[in-house]
Amino acid sequence: MKKIGLDIVGLSYSQTQSGAYALVLAEQEGKRRLPIIIGGFEAQAIAIELEDMTPSRPLTHDLFKSFAEAFDVKVKEVLIYNLVEGIFYAKLICLKEGEEVEIDTRTSDAVALAVRFKCPIFTYENIMESAGIVIDEETEEPIQSKPKKAIAPKGKEKKGIDSLNLKELKEKLQNALDSENYEAASRIRDEIKKRSENNN
């Protein structure tokens, strides 16, 4: 199965889960983005490395890197290989004396290690197809075949995505993408997909 290369393009505070963050990965040769909810500690570990900051004491991921290097273990790549009920599964592809070893890990930890080892991050097409959000690179808006519809006044807006019809869901998805709220966009996209499957 062909692997798709991913880059880290965003890390923002979650608006719905206290202490959580939204990590946004973008495919290298396309317009889709993959939003993943991660914990605060892992978000801090990723941000510190991306900003080239040096903590006063090594973080857990720094310790893992030092431990691996001491025993001549290299992390070749990170692979996000599965998605089950909204949870992403990842593994480290490591090299030890020419032998390839796979280590199962949380996706957040895998990305924190990827930035330290400067190794690539990959996923599969089926993951991007089911969880990716399509973005137009120039306008940061989703690619649509129909023109954007007028948005209902806020006073008439219903609460909860369960109570919205398909048209309203698509409008909310557009708004979430315009404001780069990928966490909300991910939830709305899942609801649209669920309804489409139920109608088939």
Residues 61 and 153 occupy one common structural domain: no
Residue 171 DSSP class: H
Residues 45 and 110 occupy one common structural domain: yes
Q: Choose the final residue of a domain: 99, 131, 163.
A: 131
**What is the band of 187 on the pLDDT scale with cuts at 50, 70, 90?**
confident
Q: Choose the final residue of a domain: 94, 109, 131.
A: 131
pLDDT of residue 138: 54
Least confident of 14-28, 45-59, 162-176: 162-176
Residues 21 and 109 occupy one common structural domain: yes
Residues 157 and 67 occupy one common structural domain: no
The residue written with tokens 């609801």 in the block is 191
Residues 88 and 55 occupy one common structural domain: yes
Residue 152 lies in domain: 139-199
Residues 109 and 152 occupy one common structural domain: no
Residues 50 and 105 occupy one common structural domain: yes
Residues 44 and 86 occupy one common structural domain: yes
Segment of 34-43, 101-110, 184-193 carrying the highest mean pLDDT: 101-110
- CATH number, domain of 60, equals 3.10.690.10
Tell me how crowded residue 89 is: count the other CB atoms within 10 A of its CB: 16
Which ranges of the chain does DSSP label H, i.e. alpha helix? 40-50, 60-70, 107-117, 125-131, 166-178, 182-199
**What is the band of 58 on the pLDDT scale with cuts at 50, 70, 90?**
confident
Closest CA to 48 of 33, 37, 36, 60: 60
Q: Residues 30-48: what's their mean pLDDT?
A: 91
Pairing of strands 87-96, 133-134: unpaired
Higher pLDDT, 1 or 98: 98
Q: Choose the final residue of a domain: 97, 115, 131.
A: 131
Q: Does 108 score more than 50 pLDDT? A: yes
Tell me how crowded residue 144 is: count the other CB atoms within 10 A of its CB: 13
Residues 116 and 166 occupy one common structural domain: no
Percentage of the chain with pLDDT > 90?
46
Q: Residues 135-139: what's their mean pLDDT?
A: 58
Residues 59 and 120 occupy one common structural domain: yes
Residues 72 and 12 occupy one common structural domain: yes
Residues 15 and 113 occupy one common structural domain: yes
For the stretch 10-36, pLDDT in tens is 888 877 677 789 899 999 988 899 999
Number of domains in the chain: 2
pTM above 0.75, yes or no: no
